[in-house]
Amino acid sequence: MHITRILAVRHGETEWNRDTRIQGHTDIPLNARGRRQAELLAQALRDEPIAAFYASDLSRALETAQAVARTRDQSVATHTGLRERCFGRFEGQTWAELEARWPEDALSWRKRVPDFAPTGGESLLQLRERVVATVEALASRHPGEQVMLVAHGGVLDILYRAATRLELQAPRSWDLSNTAVNRLLWSPEGLSLVGWADTAHLQDGSLDETTA
């Protein structure tokens, strides 16, 4: 059986993460803390064999991937299929602002209605179709190898659900931390989960308020 090991990682922190603003396709760069998280991730993965690096083309994901790839003189290939969910008019808003401006839409989002799409954005059904197809296509290029995918919280959420066979509307009980290491396997039969939300590299005291 042709199995590909996947290191799936969410990008480092951004200022909009700190402000709890919805980013979606808006291209927000890493902040100082996010860049430090990426550096610590690179150190933690220095002995991991990684055949190829793939990232969303949004700078927060690409910069995170590049921090790891440059430690071994490898390049990062970008793919728009790894982008965060497009949130349309929701982008740039906080949750409180959403509830105040568009309460019915905010409720549909909170309830994870699968076919609900914010004006100008994607539904969860569209996101799942895009993400799963992209990851399957990339993983199928590397049987017997390990690859790294750097993407976004919504993308990682879809991958967890696909690997554990959970429905889109199932309540989330798993972490989607910035630069956490998540391990998956892909075969022609689909994705399976190996390990999730490893943040040991962030617990060494190197991330204090001076890096924020």
Active-site position among 13, 39, 84, 91:
84
Here the CATH number for the domain that contains residue 159 is 3.40.50.1240
11 given a catalytic annotation? yes
Residues 3-29, mean pLDDT to the nearest whole number? 97
CA distance 208 to 212: 7
Specify if 159 maps to a domain. yes
What's the domain range around 69? 4-85+122-211
Is 117 contained in some domain?
no
pTM equals: 0.94
In a domain, 206, yes or no: yes
Please report whether residue 148 resides in a domain.
Answer: yes
In this structure, is residue 40 part of a structural domain? yes
The bridge status of strand 52-55 relative to strand 181-187 is: unpaired
pLDDT in tens, 83-109: 999 999 999 999 999 999 999 999 999
Told to judge if 167 belongs to the known catalytic residues of this protein, a careful annotator would answer: no
Q: Of these residues, 11, 25, 142, 201, which one is catalytic? A: 11
Whether 35 maps to a domain, the answer reads yes
DSSP H or E stretch at residue 190: strand 190-198
Number of domains in the chain: 1
Cα–Cα distance list, 5 to 11, 32, 51, 147, 192 (Å): 19, 30, 10, 6, 10
Any domain includes 116: no
* 31-55: pLDDT as tens digits: 999 999 999 999 999 999 999 999 9
Is 90 within the bounds of a domain?
no
